[in-house]
Amino acid sequence: LFSKKTAEELTPRLVRLSKLDGMDYFLEITSLLYDLANSRNQRLLSTYTVDYDTFDDYDKMKLVYEYVQKNFGEKITLEDAANVASMSIISFNRFIKKRTGKTFVNYINDIRIGYAARWLVEKDMSVSEVAFKSGFNNIANFNRSFKATKNCTPSQYREEFSGLKRIL
């Protein structure tokens, strides 16, 4: 998410971009991406991925990551995830905390919130639909978790982004 000032400054260039082709298009889009990358007051909207290449136990973490990515919309128990990693629950608890810096529940919730944030911006679903699709079975828990992670409610998050979207 870029600041209103950045969006307003780059809007004319974005509009002109549709009229360019070939090398002119390539150079202008590269320049726009460079300016966006170096702009101030930007905020990451979605954080649902993890770079598991940095983990010591790459294979186990990769299995857990892929399992969670595939099943985040369903109920995932600590026991299920421990079985995926072929570990006891106690060992798995220590493993996931050491690798991610989070408890397993917080790790899953962060992934779910990442997807939810993306869907709130990109899809025309209600907040409750987003909550249930992203794996939360309780709207109050979703709202509480979302606010703890993003520092605003899901509705505020959607509104904040849609306000910027109108500028473009």
- Going from N- to C-terminal start, the domains of the chain cover 4-37, 52-167
Query: Can you give the pTM of this predicted structure?
Result: 0.66
What are the angstrom distances between the C-alpha of 116 and each of 55, 121, 161?
A: 26, 9, 14
pLDDT of residue 46: 59
pLDDT of residue 18: 79
The half-sphere exposure of 133 on its side-chain side, counting CA atoms within 13 A, is: 15
Q: For the chain, 168 residues long, give each residue's pLDDT as a single digit of tens.
A: 788 888 888 889 888 887 888 888 889 989 988 888 888 878 776 555 544 445 455 788 889 999 999 999 999 999 999 999 999 999 999 999 988 889 999 999 999 999 999 999 888 899 999 999 999 999 999 999 999 999 999 999 998 877 544 443
pLDDT of residue 1: 79
**In CATH, which of 1.20.1340.10, 1.10.10.60, 2.30.110.10, 1.10.3720.10 is domain 52-167?**
1.10.10.60
Measured between its terminal Cα atoms, the distance across the chain in Å is 13
Question: 16: which 2 tokens?
Answer: 């002109």
What are the angstrom distances between the C-alpha of 59 and each of 77, 91, 105, 136?
A: 20, 16, 21, 28
**Residue closest to 99 by CA, chosen among 58, 38, 43, 155:** 58
**Residue closest to 139 by CA, chosen among 128, 126, 155, 153:** 128
pLDDT of residue 47: 54
pLDDT of residue 125: 92
The whole-angstrom separation of Cα 6 and Cα 29 is 15
